[in-house]
Amino acid sequence: MVTVFTIVLQCALAALVARVVYLCYFHPLARYPGPWLARFTDIWRLLSFLNGNHHLTEQRLHERYGRVVRIAPNWLSFSSLEDFETIYGFHKSIEKGDFYTFGRGRGGGSGSIFSTKDEATHRIKKRKILGPALSSTKVAGYEAIVSRHIDVLVSRAEQGLDDRGKVNMAPLVHRFTLDTMLEVIFGPSLSAQKPYTDTPAGEGLTSVLRVLTKRAWSFSLWPVFGWLMNTRLANAILRRPTHNKQGTPTGMSALFPAIQSLIFARNKETAESPQPGIVKNWLQVPSDDTHRMELREIFSEAANLVIAGPGSTAAAVTAILFHLGAREGQIWQDKLRKEANAAPSSSTTLPPHLNAVIKETLRLRAAFPTAFPRVIRPGAETALSSTLSAPLPVGTTISANTYVLGRSREIWGDDADDWVPQRWVGAISESQYREMETRLVAFSKGSRGCVGRDLALLVIGLAVMGIVKKWRFRSVGELSGKSFLEMQYDDCWIEYESIR
């Protein structure tokens, strides 16, 4: 006898089969090639991400299928510079979608610039963030803080040598960038005048931040998974306060309350700090100034810098050290030392060879080897018509991966997979250099470009020069790690000798 349950089950299965058939053969994106599983489920995209090599997977897919690849039922990936500029440039009808919900405050709270959808709101937020605290002039004022933390990095490395005379720079660099960013953002009172990761509260914070960014991004890749992980039960398990053996709060359980105290309860003290700082500069904006942010906005933007800044900057510094330590990088160490001795210490412009090393490494080893999705809104259906044979439906997700573009032979030539800083210097004209700059997408493009670009370059440049001036070093083994939101390196072993 056929039961009601059997009928319901049969109907559900029939609906599922019909849905799969539609997505595979009749959906507007069915004409575009890609992995079979990605045609009808977001699970493929999630599993690829959790594997930690999604940037390599996307590169292989574009090498196999070409300029456009379907990587999810409603998501297309692009690999050309022209399409990248269309997606992330100035088209007002290509916006961020609900994918970035994890970056917005709960209960309608203030979201950061990272999660802002529409262009008008983003433009307002950018003015509030950039001018008072992250302009090139303001960033130059943070140089002394960065330099002090470089000395700490070198000291930690010298103390961390193993019995073979080698040291793994990857975890040390991440601690350096985190300590540096926290002091630049919040001032010295956050950690009582010492590097934050040297305090009991900072124990294991770099690992916590790695897990946090991985988890947040994965929630949005498969919305059902994100919903499950944000249920009350999951929150109770995943967001339990953490403590060390002495009972001191650690990780985000310690950091966020401390940040909240500095911004909400002790903002007058923070604003009057004698040391330059990002939050200090935001707090000092006059109350009648249109660039003045509310305290909840300051907290949101400061938290965004903590999440997005240290990991990506660490990835860049670590990759640069690896390549400078490799055989082809030894000569570039010598060039950088000569520049360091010739350039004034207060210079805010990157010397030519340091600039070449940084840009070439960011091209080859993207700090964010991740495709940041955008959504087609009404008016953008034909924005990619030079690539696509048909308009895209409203609501389609599109993206382009910076790692894929950085390794593209169509964009960079046959040596795209090689580390060649010389391409940025030497016998190239100013127009050729500017043209190359347009091909470098490490900090994205257009009005949505990275607001922390100048700060990141300051930290990267000072760190690399600081180490090169103190050591002659050689890379041992391979540079290894995994990609999630940012590139997370685990191993970058070097051996060095001090320069007297």
| Spans of all domains in the chain | 31-497
pLDDT higher at 227 or 25: 25
Residue 384 in this model has a pLDDT that exceeds 80: yes
Residues 417-428 have a mean pLDDT of 89
Q: Which single residue is written with the structure tokens 């593209």? A: 408
Over residues 243-300, the pLDDT tens digits come to 888 888 888 889 999 999 999 999 999 999 999 999 999 999 999 998 899 999 999 9
Alpha carbon distance 138, 285 (integer Å): 13
Alpha carbon distance 301, 354 (integer Å): 30
Question: Nearest Cα to 486, choosing from 369, 322, 362, 363?
Answer: 369
Rg (CA), the chain: 24
- Quote the crossing angle between the two packed helices 295-325 and 119-129, to the nearest 10°: 80
pLDDT at 496: 93
Sequence-ordered list of residues with C-beta below 8 angstroms from that of 457, at least 6 positions apart, any chain? 350, 358
Q: Which amino acid is at 358?
A: I
Does 3.40.50.300 match the CATH number of domain 31-497? Answer: no
Q: How confident is the model at residue 107 (pLDDT cuts 50, 70, 90)?
A: very low
The whole-model pTM stands at 0.93
Buried b (16+ CB within 10 A) or exposed e, 169-208: bbbbbbbbbbbbbbbbbbbebbbeeebbbebebbbebbeb
Q: With pLDDT > 70 as the criterion, what percentage of the chain qualifies?
A: 96
Residues pairing with 117 in the sheet: none
Residue 181, helix vs strand vs coil? helix
pLDDT at 101: 67
Q: Which two tokens stand for residue 422?
A: 């010389």
CA angle in degrees (0–180, nearest 5) for 69-416-333:
140
Average pLDDT, the chain: 90
Alpha carbon distance 453, 449 (integer Å): 8
Tell me 32's DSSP state: S
CB 73 within 8 A of CB 42: yes
Residues pairing with 399 in the sheet: 77
Element (H, E) at 374: strand 374-376
Q: How many CB atoms lie within 10 A of CB 118?
A: 11
pLDDT higher at 29 or 429: 29
Q: With pLDDT > 90 as the criterion, what percentage of the chain qualifies?
A: 66
Residue 480, helix vs strand vs coil? strand
CB 430 within 8 A of CB 366: no
Alpha carbon distance 165, 382 (integer Å): 59
Over residues 151-206, the pLDDT tens digits come to 999 999 999 888 788 999 999 999 999 999 999 999 998 877 789 999 999 999 99
Residue 378 in this model has a pLDDT that exceeds 50: yes
